[in-house]
Structure 1
Amino acid sequence: MSTQMDTEKARASAWFRDLRDQIVAAFEGLEDSHAEGPFSDQAPGRFEVTETKRSSEDGSDAGGGLMSVMRGGRVFEKVGVNVSTVYGELGERAQAAMAARKGLPGMKDDPRFWASGISLVAHMQNPHCPAVHMNTRMFWTPHGWWFGGGSDLNPCLEYAEDTTHFHGVQKAHCDKHDPAHYPRFKEWADEYFYVPHRGRARGVGGIFLDDYNTGEWEADFAFIQDVGRAFLPAFVPLIEKRRTATFGQSEKDAQLVHRGLYAEYNLVYDRGTKFGLETGHDANAVLMSLPPMAKWV
């Protein structure tokens, strides 16, 4: 028999899929409209869509999703937009991490989980265009549920006005729910997206939140939807402004070195990467965030 939480899970999963569809359409629209400037003589890029599957340890179905990747477009060198809904039982390492970080000691007795979300990373052709990351998700266990996600901008060539715009859109969407949200979640992003071994942030920040549960599912779901809705108006105008700019080898080198920093962070520190690999999700989908080319000095 379906429960209220089953209905809420289904709504969240459907929303993440709808957001995926909106973003894919918008990005292919950018490819189509890029008629002048670098790479405009190439064919417009299109997403290749692959179904992903997750299997439990006994081989039974444990959910999956869609991996949508565009490579070698006019605007996007590589961009992935993934959605998934997975479920099953957490392994011992994941149980221990969940119990320690979220204070859920009951995970050992009942390790069931359900998770759904969207994850996006875009690496751009033109070094003047910033790379970007975004994700939103819902996680459930018998011991509690929560939302998480956010987005952050990762330019190799920084423009103060672009940073101001990106953060301004995030703030406007956060302020609809609580004026305290933006400063709190901006600070969290600054801490989370810091690369300790390099002594610097991986980009110019954004917002980040996890373990978000006020006890009011409808209000929390409305907020995480606005986190997702903020993405396109925060990011697309920056690409429309920068994609026709000319560049040389020095700018391209700066982009490739910055991508190296991005790869280091995602492989060493990112929680989503660790969780995806530890719970048996499709490795190609988990590692979709890695850039197509990078360099180290």
Structure 2
Amino acid sequence: MTNGFEVEKAKASAWFRTLRDEIVAAFEVLEDSDDSAAPAGRFEVTETTRKSDDGSDAGGGLMSVMRGGRVFEKVGVNVSTVYGHLGAAAQRAMAARGVPGMDDDPRFWASGISLVAHMQNPHAPAVHMNTRMFWTPHAWWFGGGSDLNPCIEYAEDTAHFHATQQAHLDPHGADLYPKLKAWADEYFYIPHRNRARGVGGIFMDDHCTSDWDADFALTQDIGRAFLPAYVPLVEKRRTLPWTEADKDTQLIHRGLYAEYNLVYDRGTKFGLATGHDANAVLMSLPPLAKWF
């Protein structure tokens, strides 16, 4: 399992960084294309670090956050590569998911990109996207997906978002999109509210067919689907007129998003449990939210 695997790790890490660069550039183009009088937003980039229990370096990444832009009220695009030894709680969680060898060798390596966008205009949908690779000495797998979170729903936007993802998944198997859509519907559900947090998308985790190249190609296409699935929706909705009632609807919906990420999201729990930069882990939270 470990022989030569550094090559695959490097490929995955480099791809996540490339995808990050493409998304950051596309989002800044959206900011520039808006003709409002407000200054165009730009990403502030901060290096993040992770320390092991003994204080030694254990990887890190880039946290890229834009606040108060013309189009984006807050958007974060993070990329990281971290490694080290899993703590006891994380080992138990991995073992419970069926990851072998946690008692013998708790080393891990993880790399990925994580994105959350909260919009100025209530008609423009919020969105989440994540793709990642995880490795231990006894296992490896990919995960990720994306889901749309509009506070004001448009059926044609939902249809476009899903159709674009399906077009990118179908070359990997006609049964894949229905499976990952159903997984997203289950995963992005808020049990204590008895509702989904948005209109769904695709999601997978623990994906390993033992063909690394095929699994990596699938993960890349999940990432490649994001911009064509999402950017046209922002371009269509970013200039629509909105009311204070619309903004109130948006803030209440953001409360649902915050509840989900703090209570249920697996990535949030893992990042905090393994000592990654807390600001980077929690960048997904909206700048403003409201509860009844």
Alignment TM-score > 0.5, same fold: yes
Report the equivalent of 1:66: 62
- Residue 105 of structure 1: CA displacement? 4.3
SS of the aligned residue for 2:254 comes to helix
> Does residue 112 of structure 1 match 2:143?
no
SS of the aligned residue for 2:9 comes to helix
SS of the aligned residue for 2:192 comes to coil
SS of the aligned residue for 1:197 comes to helix
- Seq. identity, %: 77
* C-alpha distance in structure 2 between counterparts of 1:106 and 1:161, whole Å: 47
Report the equivalent of 2:144: 149
Instruction: Give CA deviations for 1:210-235 in whole Å, capped at 9, x if unaligned.
Output: 01111100011111000000000000
Report the equivalent of 1:42: 38
> Does residue 76 of structure 1 match 2:72?
yes
* C-alpha distance in structure 1 between counterparts of 2:155 and 2:165, whole Å: 16
- Residue 13 of structure 1: CA displacement? 0.1
* C-alpha distance in structure 1 between counterparts of 2:104 and 2:212, whole Å: 25
Report the equivalent of 1:90: 86
Instruction: Give CA deviations for 1:107-140 in whole Å, capped at 9, x if unaligned.
Output: 0210000000000000000000000000000000
> Does residue 251 of structure 1 match 2:246?
yes
- Residue 104 of structure 1: CA displacement? 2.6
Report the equivalent of 1:267: 262
Give the aligned residue type for 1:188: W
* C-alpha distance in structure 2 between counterparts of 1:21 and 1:4, whole Å: 27
* C-alpha distance in structure 1 between counterparts of 2:72 and 2:19, whole Å: 19
* C-alpha distance in structure 2 between counterparts of 1:142 and 1:105, whole Å: 9
* C-alpha distance in structure 2 between counterparts of 1:23 and 1:3, whole Å: 33
Report the equivalent of 2:28: 28
Match of 1:127 among 122, 129, 146: 122
* C-alpha distance in structure 2 between counterparts of 1:246 and 1:3, whole Å: 58
Match of 1:161 among 156, 162, 168: 156
- Residue 4 of structure 1: CA displacement? 2.2
* C-alpha distance in structure 1 between counterparts of 2:219 and 2:67, whole Å: 29
**Equivalence map 1:223-238=2 (5 Å):** 223-238=218-233
Residue 80 of structure 2 contacts residue 111 of structure 2 at CA under 8 Å; is this kept in 1?
A: yes
SS of the aligned residue for 1:209 comes to strand
> Does residue 196 of structure 1 match 2:191?
yes
- Residue 41 of structure 1: CA displacement? 1.1
SS of the aligned residue for 2:102 comes to helix
Report the equivalent of 2:169: 174
1:265–1:237 distance in 2 versus 1, CA, 3 Å:
same
Corresponding residue pairs, total: 291
Instruction: Give CA deviations for 1:69-93 in whole Å, capped at 9, x if unaligned.
Output: 0000000000000000000000000
Give the aligned residue type for 1:70: M
Give the aligned residue type for 2:111: S
- Residue 31 of structure 1: CA displacement? 0.2
* C-alpha distance in structure 1 between counterparts of 2:13 and 2:46, whole Å: 18
* C-alpha distance in structure 2 between counterparts of 1:3 and 1:29, whole Å: 42
* C-alpha distance in structure 1 between counterparts of 2:139 and 2:63, whole Å: 28
> Does residue 56 of structure 1 match 2:52?
yes
Match of 2:281 among 283, 286, 289: 286
- Residue 3 of structure 1: CA displacement? 4.1
Extract unaligned runs of 5+ from structure 2: none
* C-alpha distance in structure 2 between counterparts of 1:179 and 1:247, whole Å: 40
Residue 100 of structure 2 contacts residue 139 of structure 2 at CA under 8 Å; is this kept in 1?
A: no
* C-alpha distance in structure 2 between counterparts of 1:50 and 1:257, whole Å: 30
TM-score, normalised on structure 2? 0.99
Report the equivalent of 1:11: 11
* C-alpha distance in structure 2 between counterparts of 1:11 and 1:143, whole Å: 19
Give the aligned residue type for 1:130: P
> RMSD of aligned C-alpha atoms?
0.8
> Does residue 241 of structure 1 match 2:236?
yes
Give the aligned residue type for 2:270: F
TM-score, normalised on structure 1? 0.97
